[in-house]
Structure 1
Amino acid sequence: MCSKMFFILMMAAVGFVLLAFTGRSEAAETELREPQLAGSIEAVVNNRVIQFPSLHTDIRINIQGDMANVEVVQKFANPTTIPMNATYLFPLNKDAAVHAMTMEVGNEIVRATIHEKREAKEQFEKAKAEGKSAALLVQHRPNMFTQNLANLMPGLPITVRMEYVQPVLKVDGEYELVAPLVVGPRYQPAEHMGPPPSMVDVTGVAQEEVGAGGSAESSAGQWQLDTLPAYPEVAGIDPIPDTIDFDRVSIRVTLDGGMPISTFYSPTHTLYVDTPSDERCTAQLATGSTIDNRDFILRYGLDGQHVQAGLLTYKQGEDGMFSLLLEAPKTPAIEEIASRELVFVLDTSGSMNGLPMQASKAFMRSALQTLRPNDYFRIVRFSNSASQFANQPLRADSGNLNRARNFVDTLAASGGTEVRTGINCALDTPQAPNTLRIVVFLTDGYIGNEAEVLRLLQRRLGRARLYAFGVGTSVNRYLLSEMTHIGRGFVRVLDPTENFAKVAADLAAKLDSPVLTDIHVDWGGLQVADVTPPVVPDLFAGQSVRIQGRYANPGPRDITVSGLVNGRKATLTVNGEFPKEDTGPERAAIPLIWARSLIRDNMRLYNTPAGLASDNVYQGTYKDRVIELGLKYSLMTRWTSFVAVTEKRYNTQGTAVDKNVPLPMVKGVKSTAYPNAPGGGIAPEPATTLGMLLLGALGGLGVLRRKFWGRRRRNG
């Protein structure tokens, strides 16, 4: 106790803000946790108790074959005695088609309605001013959202339920479903910081998005992405305070395979699995719940007769839709492959410090061993600036590879994530003659200027291929997916706990294995429209691609898929029945996933610079299409939002304080990656003075808590 007092007095003497975790009586603790909520944090700042909203999330995943229906239940509580307006920054799967939301307050259950973002925000602000409780869901990126709550009252929790559907595609021969649990920090280059904090409201929408200070249409042909929301003030505390409880998230999964299930496991979390039959199993977290500091990943395999194509159809009224799933042909690898120039681009910014940097180095050591003697290679590292191992492509001989391994061993993580410098450095150097250039990009993707990076790749990548390895436990999958879409490659997430040699060997095998290219579909007389993707990407062994669209003339059709495997023609015939009568509700996910994919295609076209566009369609047309799809199918988009408002007025005081829901640090990411964190945060996202003080003082206080009270065992 004396040491504790001495520590506090010393902190006061040097002018730091004192923070201490207030003790609670057992009765008070029980009262707070009665609605089974967790994640609250409170601190003392200038002798004033500061408390933040508490949160518990239930995720329920129901998978049928390779389609997933997901329900996310967020339960918020106000541990203070005054009304709050709460904001929660959270991720969803980048392919999630969010199609429904409800809000429960007291005895009221309100079904949210979809509106254009501006109108939804106006309804939310009106409800807030009237003292009504309200929820507004805003999309900032396809994988980044904020849940905004108006008038979260003391002792009256708010429960928000969201529903989304998504396809489950194959990765390395197994189906992989990802449920992101936490948004990592985002680095924003200084010259592209966006509007100051005063221009970003509680919903995280820049004022220009709602009509003030200009219009997004004034920059047609340029990448247009929402201003990133302010990162929560108390994120980035290491160690995580005990008051951010470790039972913040529960996950339950049900899989109906439709055929025997061969594998079912999570590489990220320990599961308790119940298998009532060969074709069905259920699972939940072995610990019951977990902290939301890393993505949840589920992998499974299905036995039965192996097919390389599968067709699903949907019919409701005049809407007839199909979903065709393709897998790559299994043919022997071709030994005689042209020389390649592999350009390894390594993110060495501060957010890669710790496990991610160690994983990148281990992967590189293994990857260098897989190069063939007739290959060329280069290594580029970037943070605030970029440099490289050699200023020209080198032969993959033993001497050059040894020197390259020594170079990799010296790399250290620090500074900002200036991805553009890495791309320019990788592509400025002339390519080795008579080679295929392959760019292998290793990064966590923690940036806010995704648009500029994608635009740069579109302009500079040319015929080079790009393969992205997301390094970390909660990477920016949206950015990596879009990078590989431009680079006609694939994404692989490299968890720091994986076997790096195996991952590198898998990469080498994919580069050596046949790729189905120039894919074309002959629909056999079927009248199709709005097919997505408009150009079928190359298909790699162990992976799959889904082709979706609308059809007009029902009946049996023979569909022929053709392509090239290392110059040899390959064909596949699918016998399909396209129904005339309405299908049942069990296929209701098909139009939602189709509409979500079409929205993604239109956003890519909207964001394509005029000089690179393949047509002359006005960018505003793509925006109109996205809004139309979002409103028709009740889907979240950049320009559509869900809003729910209660009938009853709950806040009769007329005022409420604005608070963010605190987030834990991403597992394996150091505090230097977070805004204003001790040691110099590298992510210059807006943060309040209170947040900065909390980060500095709580980080030091964590050391004291470990010493005197011990540290709770962490799991997963």
Structure 2
Amino acid sequence: MERCGLITPEKQAVPLQSVDVQVDVKDHVATVVSTLLYKNKEEKPIEAVFVFPMPSEAAVCHFSAKVGETLIVAEVKEKKQAREEYDDALSSGQQAFLLEESDQSPDIFSMSVGSLSPGESASIRLEYVTELDVQADEALRFCLPAVLNPRYQPAGTESSSVKVTSVPSSLVPYDLTFSARVESPRSVSNIESSCTVDPVEYLNQDQTKASVKLAAGHKFDRDVELLIYYKDSHQPSAVVEAGQASAKPGSLMGDPALMLSLYPEFPKDIMSSVSSSGEFVFLLDRSGSMGCSMGHRGESGSRIASARDTLLLLLKSLPMGCYFNIYSFGSTFEQIFSGSVKYKQKTMEEALKKVEKMEANLGGTEILAPLKRIYSQGCIPNQPRQLFVFTDDGEVGNTKEVINLVKSNAGSHRCFSFGIGEGASSALIKGLAKEGGGHAQFITGNDRMQPKVIQSLRFAMQPAVVDISVKWDLPKGVSASVLSPPLTSIFQGQRSLLYAQLTGQSKEGAEGCVTVKYSLAGRPTENKLNFSLKPAEDTGLTVHRLAARSLIRSLEQEQEGARGQKDDTVKKKIIDLSVQSGVSSSFTAFIAVNKTSGEAIQGPLLRRDVPLPRMMAYSAPKTIARMSCPDMMPMKACAQKREREGRLPQFGRTRRRMMAYSAPKTIARMSCPDMMPMKACADEGTQRSLRNSVLLTEDCYDDDDDDDDDYVKPVDECYKPPSPKVQRDPLLQVVSLQKASGCWELEPALAQALSKTSQDLESKLPAMAKKEVWATILALVWLHGLKADAKDEWELLVMKAVMWLRSQNAQGLTECVEAANALLGCTVQKDALGL
């Protein structure tokens, strides 16, 4: 059974047999229906518990179970009441089904399937609706999360972590089938995926409808991500949805609901300029999991290496005259400068030297302390603060506290957040950006981090949009009550959503108008959208549910920030709205009880936890738990001590006893008696041919959660030499040579990066040109001519180079461009360089 993967780490059978997911995308909204088939193959009745990830923005709106020919549809009730009904049903021998959002975070759900008799099956249906994010390349992103990383609990915080049962992805015992249907007023140009999918099938001639399926044999080693491309760029739109006939008029579900999708257009002259001021603060996760590969099977560099390259691009792209600082964090945090410093050649070089040495070696993920330090630093006059947060953590145990801290400082900065890799918490990443008035990005699979981060830097360098107001122009007798939180940030090319409840009657063919007004760089600006008040067809209650979800999340944030003053009042509002709309919340749960079953199920239930796929999760490469304990403390006592302190995630006991030791760049896996002192054990381990840097392979240890040390492979078989150092990307080589001012110097390193000799560069130098001007033109022609596909990454630093050239009043630019084209084999025009 172990080889078939049909057990949990505790050697228990897994009742979940298969998962079928069907996604229906209409423009930028997705309806997701998951059907989970359970079967009890044991000789005793069981209770199956499945803890799984969910998009934090999802509105869960349906939960039902089918046992035989009996369909049991769940109701939304107050969470405590739902749990009591579930327990009472199981105690009386009835079947019951419970779905609830974690108290810890809105992106974790728990599904309990209670009292399955031997040989009995149950089909569970779960439905939710969600909005799709706009990516840097204008694709819409849908993600079905498959990975739930262990939640790191910071020291000194009250543990509320949910138990996550996991196995290696190759041993996940249930199958996944996945299909998606896309429909839009605009043609679908393509659908891409992080997973292997069958060819896209277009369902009509104008290609406004398409479908795609996950290819057979999918392994649970990644999230399922779809990128949907429409032929025309996104346009503002409005959808009016009729209310529910059975709901009370005047209520959210009884009245029509409106969803506005706004894509503001900023004046071109403002968009073409780049601010030369600002305080840019970068906060980088250096916990152990950042040592994992960016790709799915280790075919690409590590996350920390990609982050280092990204920081290089960011530092080269900053404007002269701004201020900056870099913080990094794990169990502790570090900062390069004591406070933000002025950006110039000296400070840039000092920062880059320290960035090059950054490794994933700071332990856990305690983000609160560095954030407090950043906010304790006074803002610099006339230098708007822009905070960039990079993390791959599933989630920290104090997420709500972290988000509230950002919210309380929202008036002094904008926060841009980046979730790296599968399992990064959407609640944490999106919460930081939302409350910080910034923008969130996710980098998964083999995505390049750099273009997404540079896009956010562009947003940060745009003047902040202030004084945002929304004005409604509706027919007489019709009014709009906005259900979304107030707009606090607007970015060029990004969608802003507004939900509203419409009250009153309108004549057939009536229209409304909404105007968004704001100030940009001191210039009053407005965008208008006219729309029909006629309800759209075939929308179901999608808009109402998304509107309810938006209002529920706003109220939850209000309740969290009230700190006891208005807890009961706001909590009651949330519960009432959740029950009325049928959308889950942090204070409610779905409960279904099978009251039609025959004889009561006898005997105690066996609990069976359904496992999720495990990524290579924590600490140094391939899950080694880093510990810092006295040399003479026994290993088991040390592990237990650190666990009590909250320094380790919820892994099995076997893995907790894996210690990191020895000289720098050497990771020793040791299997030692529990009472052997750490240093003696380490010394014994290092004498076993561990002379070079080594990496632990995935199958060197068993994954039991029992008390024995089942390390069965000899140490020499459990290690392999590190891969040869990867040659640096030529693009990054060229970028790394740019000076803070924006220019390049004529030096051997530049010749090597351009695959030329120093003599080549010197001999082609135009007579009238200065060496720095010639070197800068060479770099610009090379970027435009040979790296045009990476324009999103180098565009800002090229703008800085062009500004430097203009400031030089340089002679012979035309000759330099012609000579550079001849030398590099390019055909770049002078105008294309911005000269």
- Aligned mates of 2:493, 2:25 — CA distance in 1: 20
Long gaps (5+) in structure 1: 1-20, 25-38, 195-226, 612-616, 709-716
Residue identity in the other structure for 1:168: L
What SS does the corresponding residue of 2:612 show, helix, strand or coil? coil
Q: Name 2:544's counterpart in structure 1.
A: 591
| Cα separation, partners in 2 of 1:306 and 1:514, compared to 1, 3 Å | farther
Q: Name 1:11's counterpart in structure 2.
A: none
Q: Name 1:552's counterpart in structure 2.
A: 503
Q: Name 1:146's counterpart in structure 2.
A: 110
CA contact (8 A) 2:129 2:542 kept: yes
Q: Name 2:148's counterpart in structure 1.
A: 183
Q: What do the CA deviations read for 1:578-606 (whole angstroms, capped 9, x no partner)?
A: 24xx7644242111111111101111111
CA contact (8 A) 1:83 1:651 kept: no
What SS does the corresponding residue of 1:272 show, helix, strand or coil? coil
What SS does the corresponding residue of 1:75 show, helix, strand or coil? strand
- Aligned mates of 1:541, 1:396 — CA distance in 2: 26
Q: Name 2:226's counterpart in structure 1.
A: 298
- Aligned mates of 1:513, 1:698 — CA distance in 2: 58
What are the within-5 Å matches in structure 2 for residues 440-519 of structure 1? 440-445=388-393, 446-495=395-444, 497-513=446-462, 516-519=465-468
1:331 aligned to 2:295? no
Q: What do the CA deviations read for 1:426-469 (whole angstroms, capped 9, x no partner)?
A: 22333344311111001124212112212222334541111101
| Cα separation, partners in 2 of 1:678 and 1:329, compared to 1, 3 Å | farther
- Aligned mates of 1:702, 1:683 — CA distance in 2: 27
Q: Name 2:491's counterpart in structure 1.
A: 540
CA contact (8 A) 1:55 1:75 kept: yes
What SS does the corresponding residue of 1:597 show, helix, strand or coil? helix
Q: Name 1:251's counterpart in structure 2.
A: 178
| Cα separation, partners in 2 of 1:365 and 1:514, compared to 1, 3 Å | same
What are the within-5 Å matches in structure 2 for residues 84-163 of structure 1? 84-140=46-102, 141-163=105-127
| Cα separation, partners in 2 of 1:241 and 1:506, compared to 1, 3 Å | closer
- Which has the higher Rg, Structure 1 or Structure 2? 2
What SS does the corresponding residue of 2:597 show, helix, strand or coil? strand
> Whose strand fraction is larger, Structure 1's or Structure 2's?
1
Residue identity in the other structure for 2:704: L
Q: What do the CA deviations read for 1:241-284 (whole angstroms, capped 9, x no partner)?
A: 75424x63222110012221123212455453212331111111
Q: 1:308 aligns with which of 226, 236, 246?
A: 236
Q: Taking every aligned residue pair, what percent have the same amino acid on both sides?
A: 22
Give the superposition deviation at 1:181: 1.8
What SS does the corresponding residue of 1:608 show, helix, strand or coil? helix
Q: 1:228 aligns with which of 147, 161, 170?
A: 161
The range that moved more, 544-553 or 146-155, is 146-155
- Aligned mates of 1:691, 1:156 — CA distance in 2: 35
1:263 aligned to 2:190? yes
Residue identity in the other structure for 1:139: E
Compute the TM-score of the two structures, normalised by the length of structure 1: 0.80
What are the within-5 Å matches in structure 2 for residues 316-327 of structure 1? 316=244, 318=249, 319-327=255-263
Give the superposition deviation at 1:390: 1.0
The range that moved more, 687-696 or 408-417, is 687-696
Which structure is richer in relative contact order (CA contacts within 8 A, separation 6 or more)? Answer: 1
Give the superposition deviation at 1:138: 1.0
- Aligned mates of 1:476, 1:183 — CA distance in 2: 8
- Aligned mates of 1:556, 1:698 — CA distance in 2: 72
Q: What do the CA deviations read for 1:283-338 (whole angstroms, capped 9, x no partner)?
A: 111235331x4322222222348633444343445312211110121533252624
| Cα separation, partners in 2 of 1:78 and 1:365, compared to 1, 3 Å | farther
Q: Name 2:592's counterpart in structure 1.
A: 644
Q: 1:671 aligns with which of 619, 623, 635?
A: 623
CA contact (8 A) 1:630 1:640 kept: yes
Give the superposition deviation at 1:671: 2.8
- Aligned mates of 1:700, 1:491 — CA distance in 2: 42
RMSD (Å), alpha carbons: 3.3
Q: Name 1:576's counterpart in structure 2.
A: 531
- Aligned mates of 1:23, 1:306 — CA distance in 2: 49
Compute the TM-score of the two structures, normalised by the length of structure 2: 0.69
CA contact (8 A) 2:422 2:445 kept: yes
| Cα separation, partners in 2 of 1:189 and 1:268, compared to 1, 3 Å | same
Q: What do the CA deviations read for 1:33-77 (whole angstroms, capped 9, x no partner)?
A: xxxxxx62267x8xxx64344442211100111221110112223
Q: Name 1:520's counterpart in structure 2.
A: 469
CA contact (8 A) 2:7 2:13 kept: yes
What SS does the corresponding residue of 2:613 show, helix, strand or coil? coil
1:51 aligned to 2:13? yes
| Cα separation, partners in 2 of 1:230 and 1:163, compared to 1, 3 Å | same
What SS does the corresponding residue of 1:430 show, helix, strand or coil? coil
What SS does the corresponding residue of 2:515 show, helix, strand or coil? strand
Residue identity in the other structure for 1:466: C
CA contact (8 A) 2:624 2:655 kept: no
Residue identity in the other structure for 1:444: D
Q: Name 1:61's counterpart in structure 2.
A: 23
| Cα separation, partners in 2 of 1:167 and 1:636, compared to 1, 3 Å | same
- Aligned mates of 2:572, 2:156 — CA distance in 1: 30
What are the within-5 Å matches in structure 2 for residues 302-381 of structure 1? 302-304=230-232, 307-316=235-244, 318=249, 319-332=255-268, 333-335=271-273, 337-355=275-293, 356-381=303-328
CA contact (8 A) 2:379 2:412 kept: no
Q: What do the CA deviations read for 1:353-400 (whole angstroms, capped 9, x no partner)?
A: 323323322321222221112221100011111110111222322332
CA contact (8 A) 1:272 1:286 kept: no
CA contact (8 A) 1:592 1:633 kept: yes
Q: Name 1:166's counterpart in structure 2.
A: 130
Count, aligned residues = 624
Q: 1:660 aligns with which of 571, 588, 609?
A: 609
CA contact (8 A) 1:61 1:252 kept: yes
What are the within-5 Å matches in structure 2 for residues 271-286 of structure 1? 271-277=198-204, 278-286=207-215
Give the superposition deviation at 1:566: 2.3
Give the superposition deviation at 1:406: 2.2
| Cα separation, partners in 2 of 1:419 and 1:650, compared to 1, 3 Å | farther
- Aligned mates of 1:707, 1:170 — CA distance in 2: 46
CA contact (8 A) 1:678 1:696 kept: no
- Aligned mates of 1:560, 1:528 — CA distance in 2: 15
- Aligned mates of 2:501, 2:192 — CA distance in 1: 35
The range that moved more, 260-269 or 690-699, is 690-699
CA contact (8 A) 2:653 2:707 kept: no
| Cα separation, partners in 2 of 1:701 and 1:243, compared to 1, 3 Å | farther
Give the superposition deviation at 1:663: 1.9
CA contact (8 A) 2:469 2:517 kept: yes
